[in-house]
């Protein structure tokens, strides 16, 4: 299955478009016991499999809550409108779902770019969006919107979790290999600050353009450096190329630690194989989380999907659905304005533990992890959560540019 995923991963890291801030529309009169939620996943192209999994997660969450009587006495109905993951198409699909099919809420939108464009349209549509995938910091910064709620960690949250673990990782002299893109530079800056605090030194810092396929010259410089540890920020196809070419140089054997940021994930394990064994990487969702809700979620999902456990795309979209349901329950209303008000600073138990939807920017305060790739009891590659960082410890202050 992994071969269907890895070309798509780089697209998930695309930055957000500039979007104006706004406030929820005025409350309307509820006339139905059915709450319609539009899901707008990509149905073709490199992101199609991710889109299918995001949609499946929302359907799973809806089937589960409807079977238990619904949310605040209301049944949930999904309205699916597909997109090609371009902002213009996604915005048109959202407008169709809201104005023609009666949806009041939106989920399963994939990239940060799409979310940025959608955010600007939400107040006019009087709809709320629940983001389970777009991590760009701007979505809760200059592109924030009172109608938009993010259930997934921001880039800075994930990087802060890695930074908090840096002192515990072997290696004193680090090389940085990053994509020449906003996320790569932001990640490198946070890493350098953390390295200095941990008493470690950065001896090489270099950037490769997005969509680089030949890393030979970059790897040669890494080999020639005095580094004994490597921090790599390469995504999707770039990450695949870097890992494969680094293996040809036996790069991992030269370092005490190889630490990736969004470079490897479960869908890539089959494609990359044992060459990534022992790698560290940020881990947004821990499938082995011990809280009761997560155990039930993993068990029920696996039972319905041939024993396959959920990974981050599934878990984060399920969590986005949880956020919506909690808002409806707290408000005892399916009106977007009421749900938005109910969610501000709301704390509740979830599949990732106790979380809070911060009212200042609509970012969910949730944990993030440092993961290490190991062999599980069946001899398959798996993530082991090495350290956990509480959401309150990794979330940055509300960006002054965000005015809700």
Task: Quote the tokens at residue 383.
Answer: 């993530």
Structure confidence at residue 29 as a pLDDT band (50, 70, 90): very low
Q: 2-153+288-366 and 157-283: same fold?
A: yes
Over the chain, what is the mean pLDDT?
90
H helices of 147-290, in order, are 155-165, 182-197, 216-224, 236-248, 251-254, 269-272
Please tell me the predicted confidence (pLDDT) of residue 182. 81
Please tell me the predicted confidence (pLDDT) of residue 32. 62
For 133-177, the pLDDT digits (tens) are 999 999 999 999 999 999 999 999 999 999 999 999 999 999 999
Segment 229-250 shows an average pLDDT of 92
- Lowest model confidence (mean pLDDT) among 46-50, 58-62, 227-231, 341-345: 46-50
Per-residue pLDDT at 25 exceeds 60: no
For 289-331, the pLDDT digits (tens) are 999 999 999 999 999 999 999 999 999 999 999 999 999 999 9
Please tell me the predicted confidence (pLDDT) of residue 114. 95
44: number of Cβ within 10 Å? 11
Tell me the fold of 2-153+288-366. Answer: Rossmann fold (3.40.50)
Q: Three-class SS of residue 179?
A: strand
For 51-93, the pLDDT digits (tens) are 999 999 999 999 999 999 999 999 999 999 999 999 999 999 9
Predicted model pTM: 0.87
Please tell me the predicted confidence (pLDDT) of residue 30. 44
Q: Which CATH architecture has domain 157-283?
A: 3-Layer(aba) Sandwich (3.40)
Sheet holding 34-39, edge to edge: 75-80, 34-39, 105-107, 128-131, 148-150
Domain boundaries, the chain: 2-153+288-366, 157-283
Residue 348: burial class (beta carbons within 10 Å; 0-12, 13-18, 19+): middle
Segment 182-198 shows an average pLDDT of 91
């Amino acid at each position: 299955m992994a071969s269907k995923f890895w070309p798509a991963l780089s697209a998930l890291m695309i930055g957000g478009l500039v979007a104006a801030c706004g406030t929820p529309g005025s409350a309307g009169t509820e006339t139905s016991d059915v709450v319609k939620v539009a899901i707008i996943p990509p149905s073709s192209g490199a992101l199609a499999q991710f889109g299918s999994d995001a949609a499946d997660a929302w359907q799973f969450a809806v089937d589960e809550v409807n079977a238990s009587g619904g949310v605040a006495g209301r049944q949930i109905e999904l309205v699916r409108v597909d997109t090609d993951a371009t902002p213009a198409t996604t915005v048109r699909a959202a407008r169709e779902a809201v104005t023609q099919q009666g949806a009041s809420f939106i989920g399963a939108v994939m990239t940060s770019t799409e979310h940025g464009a959608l955010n600007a349209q939400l107040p006019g549509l009087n709809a709320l969006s629940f983001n389970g995938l777009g991590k760009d910091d701007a979505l809760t910064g200059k592109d924030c919107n009172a109608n938009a709620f993010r259930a997934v960690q921001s880039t800075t949250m994930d990087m802060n979790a890695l930074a908090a673990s840096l002192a515990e990782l072997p290696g004193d002299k680090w090389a940085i290999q990053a994509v020449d893109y906003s996320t790569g530079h932001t990640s490198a800056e946070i890493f350098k600050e953390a390295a200095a605090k941990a008493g470690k030194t950065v001896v090489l810092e270099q950037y490769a353009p997005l969509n680089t396929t030949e890393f030979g010259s970059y790897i040669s410089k890494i080999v020639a450096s005095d580094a004994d540890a490597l921090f790599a920020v390469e995504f999707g196809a770039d990450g695949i190329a870097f890992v494969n070419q680094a293996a040809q140089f036996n790069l991992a054997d030269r370092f005490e630690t190889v630490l990736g940021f969004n470079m490897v994930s479960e869908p890539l394990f089959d494609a990359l194989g044992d060459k990534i064994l022992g790698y560290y990487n940020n881990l947004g969702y821990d499938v082995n989380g011990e809280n009761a809700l997560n155990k039930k979620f993993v068990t029920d999902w696996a039972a319905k999907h041939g024993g396959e456990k959920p990974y981050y795309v599934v878990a984060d979209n399920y969590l986005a659905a949880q956020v919506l349901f909690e808002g409806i329950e707290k408000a005892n209303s399916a009106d977007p304005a009421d749900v938005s008000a109910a969610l501000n600073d709301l704390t509740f138990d979830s599949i990732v533990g106790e979380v809070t939807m911060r009212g200042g920017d609509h970012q969910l305060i949730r944990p993030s992890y440092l993961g290490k790739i190991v062999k599980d009891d069946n001899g398959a590659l798996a993530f082991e959560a090495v350290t956990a960082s509480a959401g309150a410890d990794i979330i940055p202050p509300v960006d002054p540019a965000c005015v809700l």
